């Protein structure tokens, strides 16, 4: 490669391409090579390893298939990869290119954080256009001052109050919350509201780094400390100075490193890898996790003493479903920002679409909301978006909305079994325009009758007891459903 070629490659956007079909990878890679620096991977594991340790910089874009080994005929690996990539690189823009193009799969992929879903087969020009459209919407500039946490709901008012209360203290803070809720934004605001605001705010994602690199990144290393350590290097604790070090996904920190982090938290002391000299950190540590660390402690995957040290103060960033009308404030904020980036007039929601927006539980939280706004702004600039257009962008079959469809602000109240069934029925009616109640009931009845007969090994009396029916009634139901009577062995 010539110097000019190398400079051109550096200027091209980087793309992670994940597909287990080598012909597809080769064909797409060839078509996109002039516009993107393509990094191919054939599996979820290979993709994660590539992002963690094989690249100098995390790719800006990812184009992934849902059907990946070891279960290429199911979307599970692809769904898991979307979540893992966003945990590693929250600003990565993910597009799905998949033959598993059922609408429910597309909606769920978008709810997890994928920006767009493209069904196979797709023309390369369509793929290229979608990738450049994703690049046109930039993540928020980390160099700009942190915005206040938006929202006037009681949950957000309480969160801002806690941040102001904890900001001036030197003690660690543990931020908990679901994926996509904005835990890093809460950490930024803690720093911005503190006396440390004029010092660095550094972020290390513990899930994004190969375990054998994290110690060196945190504490630095001496020359020759390990293969490839050609010079000495300061770590994040040293670079943060008197500022703030934000450790995201702290639940992923390797167990063997946890005592070393505990030591820094207790007395500020640490050592570079390969050195015996003691160094001292002045940085304040803020950690975040979407895991239940108490459960991790009980399972032996996280030290109890480290957990208690990190959680001197703790914050919980609320899920979007608990934020009431704040979802409209976020709609306005992101809608204005995206319209400005695309140089188009903002869209507006019609009355029925507003009702659906209010009812939807946003399982992917603020990240999902932002992606929905990007898609709507791209498709309907300057237009009014109706209920049908909005519903097409939502994951109405996701388990998360089941908890909130009828009472979106009552997250702590467990629904009764009857209420859960009602909510599931509501989602089914919303999703399936061709729903037929009689056909659905017949299918359910047939499934339960056949299940009871299998459990009872063909004994109709036993099956009837399992179903709470009289044997004669069960015979009548079987006849109406067209089910044959089980064969009774003849007496010898």
User: Strands 116-119, 14-18: parallel, antiparallel or unpaired by DSSP?
Assistant: unpaired
Q: Is 17 helix (H, G, I), strand (E, B) or coil?
A: strand
Whether the predicted model's global pTM rises above the 0.85 cut? no
At 61, is the pLDDT very low, low, confident or very high (cuts 50, 70, 90)?
A: very high
User: Contact 377/339 with Cβ under 8 angstroms?
Assistant: yes
- What average pLDDT does the structure give for the chain? 85
Nearest-Å Rg of the Cα atoms of the chain is 27
**Please, which residues have CB within 8 angstroms of residue 78's CB and are 6 or more apart in sequence?**
44, 64, 65, 66, 67, 68, 96, 98, 100, 109
Chain segment 285-311, per-residue pLDDT in tens: 999 999 899 999 998 999 999 999 999
At 344, is the pLDDT very low, low, confident or very high (cuts 50, 70, 90)?
A: very high
| CA-based nearest residue to 377, from 367, 388, 390, 365 | 390
pLDDT number for residue 405: 35
Gap between the Cα atoms of 436 and 416, Å rounded: 25
Any idea what the Cα angle at residue 135 is, between residues 134 and 136, rounded to 5°?
Answer: 90
What are the b/e assignments for 412-447, b being 16+ CB within 10 Å? eeebeeeeeeebeebbeebbeeeeeeeeeeeeeebe
Helix (H) or strand (E) holding 281: none
Strand partners, 16: 39, 62
In terms of average pLDDT, the best of 42-46, 155-159, 285-289, 398-402 is 285-289
What is the average per-residue pLDDT within 80-92? 87
In terms of average pLDDT, the best of 35-49, 104-118, 130-144 is 35-49
Residue 288 CA to its chain's centroid (Å):
15
pLDDT number for residue 401: 37
Under DSSP, the state recorded for 60 is: S
**Which own/partner pairs from 128-136 qualify as long-range (CB within 8 Å, at least 24 positions apart)?**
128/31, 128/32, 128/35, 130/95, 131/13, 131/15, 131/32, 131/35, 131/36, 131/61, 131/63, 131/95, 132/35, 133/378, 134/61, 134/93, 134/95, 135/13, 135/60, 135/61, 135/93, 136/341, 136/342
User: Contact 346/335 with Cβ under 8 angstroms?
Assistant: yes
Q: Give the number of residues written for the chain.
A: 492
In terms of average pLDDT, the best of 85-89, 180-184, 425-429 is 180-184
pLDDT number for residue 426: 66
Q: Which residue has the higher pLDDT, 55 or 355?
A: 355
Under DSSP, the state recorded for 152 is: -
User: Contact 126/378 with Cβ under 8 angstroms?
Assistant: no
The full set of domains in the chain, from first to last, is 11-136 (3.40.50.2300), 154-316 (3.40.50.300), 321-397+416-431 (1.10.8.60), 437-481 (1.10.10)
What is the SS3 string spanning 311-340?
Answer: CCEEEECCCHHHCCCHHHHHHHHHHHHHHH
């Amino acid at each position: 490669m010539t110097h000019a070629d190398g400079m051109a490659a550096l200027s091209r956007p980087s793309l992670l391409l994940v597909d287990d079909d080598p012909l597809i990878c080769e064909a797409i890679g060839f078509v996109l090579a002039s516009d993107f620096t393509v990094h191919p991977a054939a599996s979820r594991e290979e993709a994660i390893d590539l992002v963690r340790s094989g690249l100098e910089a995390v790719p800006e874009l990812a184009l992934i298939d849902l059907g990946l080994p070891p279960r290429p005929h199911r979307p599970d690996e692809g769904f898991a990869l979307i979540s893992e990539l966003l945990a590693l690189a929250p600003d990565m823009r993910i597009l799905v290119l998949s033959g598993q193009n059922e609408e429910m799969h597309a909606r769920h992929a978008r709810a997890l954080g994928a920006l767009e879903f493209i069904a196979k087969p797709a023309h390369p020009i369509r793929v290229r256009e979608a990738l450049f459209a994703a690049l046109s919407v930039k993540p928020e500039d980390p160099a700009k001052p942190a915005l206040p946490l938006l929202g006037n709901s009681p949950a957000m008012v309480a969160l801002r109050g806690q941040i102001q209360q904890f900001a001036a203290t030197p003690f660690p803070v543990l931020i908990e919350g679901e994926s996509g809720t904005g835990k890093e934004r809460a950490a930024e605001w803690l720093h911005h509201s503190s006396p440390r605001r004029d010092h660095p705010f550094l972020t290390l994602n513990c899930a994004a780094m190969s375990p054998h690199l994290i110690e060196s990144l945190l504490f630095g290393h001496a020359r020759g400390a390990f293969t490839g350590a050609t010079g000495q290097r300061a770590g994040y604790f040293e670079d943060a100075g008197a500022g703030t070090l934000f450790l995201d996904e702290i639940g992923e920190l390797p167990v063997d490193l946890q005592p070393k982090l505990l030591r820094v938290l207790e007395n500020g002391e640490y050592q570079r890898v390969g050195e015996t000299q003691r160094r001292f950190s002045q940085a304040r540590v803020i950690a975040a996790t979407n895991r239940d660390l108490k459960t991790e402690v009980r399972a032996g995957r996280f030290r109890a003493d480290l957990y208690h040290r990190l959680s001197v103060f703790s914050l919980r960033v609320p899920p979007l479903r608990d934020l009431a009308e704040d979802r409209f404030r976020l709609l306005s904020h992101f809608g204005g920002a995206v319209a400005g980036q695309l140089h188009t007039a903002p869209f507006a929601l019609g009355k029925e679409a507003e009702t659906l927006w209010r009812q939807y539980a946003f399982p992917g939280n603020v990240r999902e909301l932002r992606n929905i706004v990007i898609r709507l702004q791209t498709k309907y600039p300057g237009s009014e978006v109706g209920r049908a257009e909005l519903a097409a962008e939502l994951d109405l079959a996701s388990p998360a909305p089941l908890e909130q469809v009828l009472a979106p602000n009552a997250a702590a109240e467990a629904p009764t079994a009857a209420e859960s069934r009602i909510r599931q029925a509501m989602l089914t009616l919303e999703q399936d325009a061709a729903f037929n109640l009689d056909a659905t009931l017949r299918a359910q009845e047939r499934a339960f009758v056949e299940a009871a007969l299998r459990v009872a090994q063909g004994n109709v009396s036993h099956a009837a007891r399992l179903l709470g029916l009289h044997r004669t009634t069960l015979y009548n139901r079987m006849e109406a459903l067209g089910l044959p009577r089980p064969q009774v062995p003849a007496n010898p």
